[in-house]
Structure 1
């Protein structure tokens, strides 16, 4: 609920149907990224879901491109995410979408935090792209890091 109120959840609509959702935030989940990494302007994908009715149409890939474009317009250097450590299919999908594996945070080995299940960290440069979505949301706020 908090992510909806803060304006970090976005929906892809296909007529009256919600085809996909993504949560995109400038805030990293605690305990995953190092202080040096957090000093770099970044945006983080926290959740991405595509309705089964829209599977196989590259909606997820285009939505990731949209997120990278939005991050770029916010002056972010990186688009980052964490995936479940055991979900190798999702990890392969992220790699096919241009992400590079940074490291895997294992149980009890999280940076500045406790054990994690979703600790497979990946990033790709934020970049402008033609994603094909009509963005009806406000322009992103510029990222600034001290």
Structure 2
């Protein structure tokens, strides 16, 4: 399996990928990702070179966004002053679930962040998805806090404010990394 950067022509594929994940979460009784993700927002993150895909042959089996920018209102000023990378939208195809692709992808993100000079790999997770929170803790992340206010819509309740982090380290993730070399 190899990791490649997403391209603008991958928008429809990645939106469908997210819809598949949302349907699976609904079957589990979790309300995460029920609103359609805006295509223009996804395209902007792809053009910013922050969206990556795991390929098994020609099949996309996972995706992750790794960015130097945090979502507004989650991290303190002191935390934002520490060199960090932020992950979101980590998704693994149901056809490849249970193969530790997500764990390996987190290791890849931590390795890439480490090579970029970041100290922390940080994330925010759905506040009501306790299984996802346990997963991240099992992957070596430490719980920081839960931010419940200041959501994107009129400053209302935040649905993705469970914060966690882990130190970045060089890691052998086992993927063929076909992403651009890191420039500091």
Q: Given the alignment of the two structures, is residue 95 of structure 1 paired with residue 137 of structure 2, yes or no?
A: yes
Match of 2:110 in 1: 68
Number of equivalent positions = 140
The structure whose Rg is larger is 2
**Cα RMSD over matched residues?**
1.6
Q: Is the helix fraction higher in 1 or 2?
A: 2
Take 2:157 and 2:108, find their aligned partners in 1: how far apart are those partners? 31
1: distance between equivalents of 2:82 and 2:102? 25
1:47 aligns to what? 89
Give the alignment partner of residue 34 of structure 1, picking from 76, 88, 91: 76
Shift in CA distance, 141/121, structure 1 to aligned 2, threshold 3 Å = farther
2:120 to 71, 74, 78: 78
- For structure 1, the residue ranges without an aligned partner over 5 or more in a row are none
Instruction: Indicate the residue corresponding to 1:3 in structure 2.
Output: 45
How far off is 1:114 after superposition? 5.5
Question: What are the ranges of 5 or more consecutive residues in structure 2 without an aligned counterpart?
Answer: 1-42
Q: Deviations over 1:125-146 (max 9, x none)?
A: 010111001111112343xxxx
Poorly superposed stretches of 4+, deviation over 2 Å: 139-142
